[in-house]
Amino acid sequence: MEIRFNDEEISELAAVVINRMADQANLSDKDRAMLKRWRSSKLKLGTDDMEELVRKANDDFAQGIARRQRSQLRKPDWRA
């Protein structure tokens, strides 16, 4: 099974995660604005930083799926 995220999906995911972290950290308005500017500049679609994030996220996701599939194959079925 192969699942690949595109840059728009990863960008949206990053925005949700960063916004949630900012909300839970109770940042000041100034700090929240600075974080938003950082996200807008670093995670802009088409930038090298964004392409690297998409590549790393897809690689990590694929490794997680492969690890989960391997562990299911090795797990004995004691409930049978």
- The structural domains of the chain, with segments of one domain joined by +, span 7-12+24-62
Instruction: Summarize the confidence of residues 9-14 as an average pLDDT.
Output: 92
pTM of the full structure: 0.71
**Cα distance from N-terminal residue to C-terminal residue, the chain:** 27
CA nearest to 50, candidates 2, 1, 5: 5
At 17-34, the pLDDT tens digits run: 988 988 899 889 899 889
At 31-80, the pLDDT tens digits run: 988 998 888 888 889 999 899 999 999 999 999 888 887 666 565 666 65
Chain mean pLDDT for the chain: 86
